[in-house]
Amino acid sequence: MKIGELSERTGLATSRIRFYERIGLLKTVKRQSNGYRSYPKEAVMVLELITTAQDAGFSLDELRALLPADLENWDHSFLLNALKQKVKDIEEMQAKLASNKAQLLEVLNEIEAKPDDMDCADNAKRVLLQFGFQTSKKQTS
């Protein structure tokens, strides 16, 4: 199939398909005698795998290492380990994001708890000091 049909089937722009080919993720491309690219049916599946994996957080470099040249020859244990590692990475990210959110909510609550008789600048200093930040431009070593 030609690149236009592949683009239609996958919903990807032709430039993106060429990009995946250029960086080695789409390896099943053949050139016809007239120079046009010819893609096998499996290219649809490969592109769907790439976009799904990217949506799941895999980088292009990770995908390059993960996708075999021949889809019939997956390294089962390598694939499982990569997927387990990605789940672990996501869980670590979620924990970090939850911690960041909790800290921001604490700061937000303190800012919103500004005493009525205090101006914003003094309140900012109060909140910064409460959370251990220095408020002067001069810092001691």
SS3 percent helix, strand, coil of the chain, rounded to 5, is 60, 5, 35
Q: Which residue has the tokens 């120079």?
A: 35
Q: Where are the domains of the chain?
A: 1-73, 75-136
From first to last of its 141 residues, the chain has per-residue pLDDT tens of 999 999 999 999 999 999 999 998 988 788 888 888 899 898 999 999 999 999 988 999 999 888 887 777 788 888 899 899 999 999 999 999 999 999 999 888 888 888 889 898 888 888 888 887 765 555 554
Tell me the whole-structure pTM to 2 decimals: 0.67
Q: Which residue has the tokens 């236009």?
A: 4
1-73: what CATH class? mainly alpha
